[in-house]
Chain A
Amino acid sequence: DAKTTQPNSMESNEEEPVHLPCNHSTISGTDYIHWYRQLPSQGPEYVIHGLTSNVNNRMASLAIAEDRKSSTLILHRATLRDAAVYYCILRDPHRDDKIIFGKGTRLHILP
């Protein structure tokens, strides 16, 4: 299974942008990059996913490196409610592989 590497924790000030990095140097050509986050006392929730091009949705943006070996989840204006553990995972929709969650990045938002 392809592996992702994320920092254990990050801090950001409220109302500032946050860039959460993820390295996936062994990504295959058909792996999609998915991001999830888990707020305290809740199940994980889907944030965004992409293959090659940068993606935007109402929650966040996903910037994917040209060689696809890394990606960055961007929260444009962090709020206290964005404090959560953020997981970056790889999934090939054509291979039915099991999904492996790493330890993720615990994001702390400072008021």
Chain B
Amino acid sequence: KAGVTQTPRYLIKTRGQQVTLSCSPISGHRSVSWYQQTPGQGLQFLFEYFSETQRNKGNFPGRFSGRQFSNSRSEMNVSTLELGDSALYLCASTTGGRGQFFGPGTRLTVL
């Protein structure tokens, strides 16, 4: 099976812009979670989607949003980008209670 894929792998934006990141889970996985990773804060949970519904949400402002499509692919959107949004954004998929499988991440740089 192909692993979790994320596009794009690298992205440079400027403050105030918006960005959309994409994640394709492993085939058959219906749950997709998103994380933000920065050197200072580590891995922080953003949100989780299951069958097109947001099931859990972390402590991030409303500028961060996501959605999941009927084929389980997921997107996350960040509006009005700030310098502090520069981070590695990771997507993970899972089936049932087993371990999560992470993608390689999207490295976002906000200038």
Give the B-binding residues of A (Cβ under 8 A): 32, 34, 36, 42-46, 49, 87, 91-94, 96-104
Contacts and interface: CB of A to CB of B under 8 A. Distances in A.
B56 A97 contact: yes
A100 B44 CA distance: 7
Tell me whether chain B's interface is mostly helix, strand or loop, or mixed.
strand
Contact-size category for B: 20 to 34
A18 B106 CA distance: 31
Contacts, number: 54
B102 A45 contact: yes
Nearest to B90: A43
Contacts of B48: 96, 98
Interface of B: 4, 33, 35, 42-45, 48, 50, 55-58, 90, 92, 96-105
A101 B43 contact: yes
Given A34-B99, A93-B96, A43 B104 contact: yes
